[in-house]
């Protein structure tokens, strides 16, 4: 009798151990499946970039060269950017970037502030690579002086004659300023192109690998023109990029499609909203 009880007791222990092992395996398999699911990468997807020029600043307002020099937005510039934000309010941005210049950061934050999707809470990522070109000794100088000196260096009588000469005016002006800058620190077109388009392409590639979607990028006029010239130089606007303008680009992981250039309709749409 005692032996029978002892055998029953042993069998109970064996069953308990077996059940415990089974439960452990189930838990491990469950966790393994869960971890496997959480580690799954998103499928690459098409990216739409809304490339925005910052709002009008105190240096823009006095027509001074503003590259790495920086000025805050004036009230007119703030109002414009709030309207741009309202015009883009329904766009569910998946990421937001700006240059590391204060005017670009201020602009991007205002646009996100007006957003009516989850994008409102996006963390803004600052990228030095997409800041404006550097004009050396001409930083803060009147634009007419910088452009005038560059035009004369290239053999033109005036800024207007330079702009009417054809070709890529941004390339001409950046190279001329680089050559005549006494400090020898002003960027050449090649230097600007290399840093700006490399950074911009990296932003697009990252978004593509993360599943695509809409991406906000706030940058600067000369830099935006340089970026666009690498994609489709024929789409460069005749004049400068307007403050608050939107240039819309599509990227599929290998090629680009230019959808809009220097577009002010978002500001106009936003102006009509309360």
Of residues 264, 260, 270, 244, the one with CA closest to residue 49: 260
Given this model, what pLDDT does residue 26 score?
35
pLDDT of 223 > 90? The answer is yes
Given this model, what pLDDT does residue 32 score?
43
How far apart are the C-alpha atoms of 126 and 99, rounded to whole Å?
5
Given this model, what pLDDT does residue 177 score?
98
How far apart are the C-alpha atoms of 12 and 122, rounded to whole Å?
57
Per-residue pLDDT reduced to its tens digit, 17-50: 444 443 444 333 434 444 343 346 689 999 999 9
Measuring CA to CA, how many Å separate 38 from each of 21, 24, 31, 34, 133? 25, 21, 10, 6, 42
Please check whether residue 124 is in contact with residue 108, taking contact to mean a CB–CB distance below 8 angstroms. yes
User: Going by DSSP bridges, is the β-strand pair 256-263/246-251 parallel, antiparallel, or unpaired?
Assistant: antiparallel
Please check whether residue 113 is in contact with residue 120, taking contact to mean a CB–CB distance below 8 angstroms. yes
- Continuous H helices in the chain: 2-38, 58-61, 75-87, 102-114, 143-153, 159-163, 169-180, 189-209, 221-232, 265-271
pTM (2 d.p.)? 0.85
Q: How much is the average pLDDT of 70-96?
A: 98
Mean pLDDT is lowest, of 29-33, 78-82, 233-237, for: 29-33
The DSSP result for 173-220, as a single string, is: HHHHHHHH-TTS-SPPHHHHHHHHHHHHHHHHHHHHHTT-EEEEEEE-
The DSSP result for 240-258, as a single string, is: PPPTT-EEEEEE-SS-EEE
Residues making up the chain, counted from first to last: 274
More confident residue, 17 or 172: 172
What confidence tier does 6 reach under pLDDT thresholds 50, 70, 90? very low
Q: How much is the average pLDDT of 256-260?
A: 98
Backbone φ and ψ for 215, nearest 5 degrees, come out as -125, 130
User: In the chain, how long is the greatest CA-to-CA distance?
Assistant: 119
Per-residue pLDDT reduced to its tens digit, 108-155: 999 999 999 999 999 999 999 999 999 999 999 999 999 999 999 999
pLDDT of 158 > 70? The answer is yes
DSSP type of residue 42: P
User: Helix 221-232 crosses helix 189-209 at what angle (to 10 degrees)?
Assistant: 70
Q: What is the signed CA dihedral for 226, 232, 233, 237, rounded to 10 degrees?
A: -80
pLDDT of 5 > 50? The answer is no
Per-residue pLDDT reduced to its tens digit, 177-205: 999 999 999 999 999 999 999 999 999 99
Given this model, what pLDDT does residue 166 score?
86
pLDDT of 12 > 70? The answer is no
Given this model, what pLDDT does residue 37 score?
38
């Amino acid at each position: 009798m005692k032996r029978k009880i002892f055998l029953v007791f042993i069998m109970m222990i064996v069953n308990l151990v077996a059940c415990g092992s089974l439960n452990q395996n189930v838990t491990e398999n469950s966790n393994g499946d869960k971890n496997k699911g959480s580690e799954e990468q998103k499928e690459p997807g098409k990216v739409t970039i809304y490339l925005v020029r910052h709002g009008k600043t105190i240096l823009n307002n006095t027509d001074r060269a503003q590259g790495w020099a920086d000025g805050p937005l004036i009230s007119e510039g703030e109002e414009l950017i709030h309207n741009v934000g309202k015009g883009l309010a329904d766009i569910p941005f998946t990421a937001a970037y700006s240059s590391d210049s204060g005017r670009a950061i201020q602009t991007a934050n205002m646009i996100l502030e007006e957003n009516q999707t989850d994008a409102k809470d996006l963390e803004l990522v600052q990228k030095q690579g997409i800041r404006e070109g550097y004009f050396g000794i001409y930083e803060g100088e009147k634009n007419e002086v910088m452009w005038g000196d560059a035009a004369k260096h290239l053999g033109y009588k005036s800024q207007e004659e330079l702009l009417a000469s054809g070709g890529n005016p941004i390339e001409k002006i950046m190279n001329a300023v680089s050559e005549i800058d006494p400090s020898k620190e002003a960027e050449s077109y090649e230097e600007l192109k290399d840093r700006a388009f490399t950074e911009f392409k990296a932003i697009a590639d990252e978004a593509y690998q993360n599943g695509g979607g809409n991406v906000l990028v706030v940058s600067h006029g000369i830099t935006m023109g340089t970026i666009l010239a690498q994609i489709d130089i024929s789409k460069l606007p005749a004049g400068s990029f307007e403050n608050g303008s939107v240039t819309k680009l599509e990227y599929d992981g290998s090629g680009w499609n230019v959808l809009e250039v220097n577009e002010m309709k978002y500001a106009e749409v936003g102006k009509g909203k309360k």
